[in-house]
Amino acid sequence: MQETTNVEVFIKRLTTEINKMNDLKLQGHEPALRSAKKHSAAGYLELAGVLSPCYKSSRECVLTAFSLNPTAGGLHKIEQLAKKSDMMKNENDAPPLDIQDLLDDLNIIVKAPRKRFLNWQLEWPDLKKHCEEHLTRGDQPAVKELKYLELDYTQFKNMAPEEENGIEKGYEIPEVRKKPQRKRKAGQKKNEANTTTTSGVIISDTTAIITTTTSAITTTT
């Protein structure tokens, strides 16, 4: 019963501290945020001691403490827990019955503030690499070195151009040629038409005009 009370106290305390850290992050108060993270990391290490009978829950707290405040001592604790985890792979590690009702809340407050790349589900070499990088980098984002290609453009000077007028070869629009008009025979008069329409489509040729509305059509030959 005393253990349950202790865990409940930690859940309430750490929940308050998580909310405080989120507020400081949104406000951009970096010095205050770093101080809050160190204070919260100490609380997670205390909780790890309370949960020591259940090594899986305890190691989760240690990893979260390292995420908040990466130190060489924290990395050493993680290495020791990794060795213990390897030795206890086939052993039952069920949490004490009196705290099982608190497991959901416990998992939330333990994993919420932790960096996602720090996870006990990873193989140990991968987790160790992430921990070492986090220890070196801290909260600074990873920056990958940009590599630029050095091209010798003189090797392209004799190449035939692939584009003409900005249009890639093969995508040119073919030129549409107009059909030549037939010449009228001498003495042949041109058809004339006068139409009146308000809407519709007019289709005409040299002999007639058709409209979809009431029209006056006059055809002369």
Q: Which residues does 78 contact at the CB level (< 8 Å), separation at least 6?
A: 59, 62, 63, 66, 127, 131
What is the pTM (predicted TM-score) of this model?
0.62
Say what the pLDDT of residue 192 is.
45
Alpha-carbon dihedral sign for residues 83, 85, 91, 97? positive
Secondary element (H or E) of residue 18: helix 2-27
Say what the pLDDT of residue 95 is.
72
> Residue 111 and residue 138: Cα distance in Å, rounded?
18
Please, which pLDDT band fits residue 172 given cuts at 50, 70 and 90?
Answer: low
Say what the pLDDT of residue 221 is.
39
Say what the pLDDT of residue 193 is.
43
pLDDT in tens, 133-149: 999 987 665 444 445 55
Contact (Cβ atoms closer than 8 angstroms) between residue 102 and residue 4: yes
Closest by alpha carbon to 75, among 141, 130, 140?
130
Query: With 50 as the cut, is the pLDDT of residue 1 above it?
Result: yes
> Residue 16 and residue 35: Cα distance in Å, rounded?
15
Say what the pLDDT of residue 75 is.
96
Say what the pLDDT of residue 86 is.
78
Per the structure block, which two tokens stand in for 27?
A: 């406000």
pLDDT in tens, 92-106: 677 776 778 888 899
Altogether, the residues listed in the chain come to a count of 221
Contact (Cβ atoms closer than 8 angstroms) between residue 106 and residue 57: yes
> Residue 41 and residue 67: Cα distance in Å, rounded?
8
How far the first Cα of the chain sits from its last, in Å, is 114
Say what the pLDDT of residue 177 is.
60
* Average pLDDT in the chain: 76
Query: Measuring CA to CA, how many Å separate 4 from each of 7, 12, 41?
Result: 5, 12, 21
pLDDT in tens, 60-83: 999 999 999 999 999 999 999 999
